[in-house]
Chains A and B, each alone.
Chain A
Amino acid sequence: MHEIALMGDILNIVVRDMEEKSLHQVKKITLLVGDLSNAMPDALRMAFDIYKVDQKDWIHPDATLQIEHESAKAQCIFCNTFYVPDVKIALCPECNMPGGKLIQGETFQIISYEGD
């Protein structure tokens, strides 16, 4: 549970960009959160609400946090099958060999923000 710290990082990146563009207020932030990124969307929303109250000077009171979800995906290096990894991430459900490589699901990005 480090979503408060992660939200702090997110807001730092946004505020830095806003300063460069001489913007004063943020109204919306859109994130992309992978299943295996270790970040919980609900906890991120809660952290955003906490910062919203704390940093009224530049976060609009009705500002929203939109979270887009990236599902986990792996590909087997032996039979090339794409699959949704279970607990045993590397175990291919098709050929049963432990050769799966994660190709999606670890992303944790700020896609965009709306400011003025």
Chain B
Amino acid sequence: MEIKLNTDVLSDNNAAAMHNRKQFSNTKTLVINVMSSPGAGKTTLLEKTVKALQGKYRIGVIEGDLATQKDADRIRATGAKAVQINTHGGCHLDARMIAKVLPSFDLNQIDILFIENVGNLVCPSGYDLGQSHKIAVLSVPEGNDKIPKYPTMFNRTEMVILNKIDLLPMVDFSVEEAVEDLNGLNPNSRLISLSAKTEEGMSEWIQWIEEAYQKCAVQRL
């Protein structure tokens, strides 16, 4: 016999994401899901971001990689609490993986939680983790064609961090073209140019996080 389901394939993930979101809301934790291709500089950006926010906010980081503890070790060196998820071949993080590691944190003691997704511009964009904000990191050596080539990623994120701008004189990358491409794909997305390495432009990004944190605290009062 034929049985109608009309069920979203990602419904199990979405239910787990809602559950995570409820926990984050209860503890007033701002959660930012950071996605990019491998090597765009997510971990360096987070190292510098943690250093800039430390002292004022209590920070936690979840690191997603196929293998190794390398990224979590780099974050731990800043003094922030970091937990590594190894996906063993999996190309993205899902909400159930996040739920599994949340008990490692005392969320009441975490103001801002960053989730560094597996380096991949395709699959991570489809999985809700329960985050407050989804952002993409793009680095200038990757070239201008990344934005039009990966429309679902840039359509589903609300901000693009254009990283490694210290390399602009060495590579053929047009910031103007990137802004134009992004506008055509998602006019609500915003682009912040910075170099995590030299820290040029970092203040705009830090200010955005602080404003997002204020908003999320106010919404929950």
Contact = CB atoms under 8 A, between A and B. Distances in A.
Interface of A: 1-2, 5-6, 9-10, 12-14, 17, 21, 23, 28, 31, 36-39, 87-91, 98-99, 102, 108-116
Which of A21, A38, A89, A102 has the most chain B CB atoms closer than 10 A to its own CB? A38
A31 B9 CA distance: 9
B152 interface: yes
Contacts of B148: 87-88
B125 A112 contact: no
Contact of A98 (B5, B6, B10, B187): B187
Contact of B9 (A23, A102, A110): A110
B151 interface: yes
A60 to B, nearest CB: 14
A90 B188 CA distance: 10
Contacts of A38: 122-123, 125-126, 152
Given A6-B9, A36-B152, A88 B185 contact: yes
Interface string B107-128: 0000000000000001101100
A112 to B, nearest CB: 5
A2 B91 contact: yes
Contacts of B11: 13
Which of B6, B9, B152 has the most chain A CB atoms closer than 10 A to its own CB? B9
B126 A114 contact: no
22 contacts: A2-B91, A2-B92, A6-B9, A9-B9, A13-B7, A13-B9, A21-B3, A36-B151, A36-B155, A37-B126, A38-B125, A87-B151, A88-B185, A90-B184, A90-B187, A98-B184, A99-B187, A102-B155, A108-B9, A112-B3, A113-B3, A114-B1
Contacts of B13: 9
Interface in B31-84: none
B12 A9 contact: yes
Which of A2, A13, A87 has the most chain B CB atoms closer than 10 A to its own CB? A2
B100 to A, nearest CB: 16
B5 A111 contact: yes
B106 interface: no
A9 B151 contact: no
Which of B91, B148, B187 has the most chain A CB atoms closer than 10 A to its own CB? B187
Contact of A112 (B5, B123, B155): B5
A87 B2 CA distance: 38
Given A2-B92, A36-B152, A38-B122, A109 B9 contact: yes
Contact of A13 (B12, B90, B92, B125): B12
A109 B8 contact: yes
B58 to A, nearest CB: 33
A40 B2 CA distance: 25
Contacts of A28: 2
Nearest to B127: A2
Given A2-B92, A87-B151, A88-B181, A115 B1 contact: yes
A2 B123 contact: yes
A91 B184 contact: yes
Interface in B179-201: 181, 183-187
A98 B7 CA distance: 32
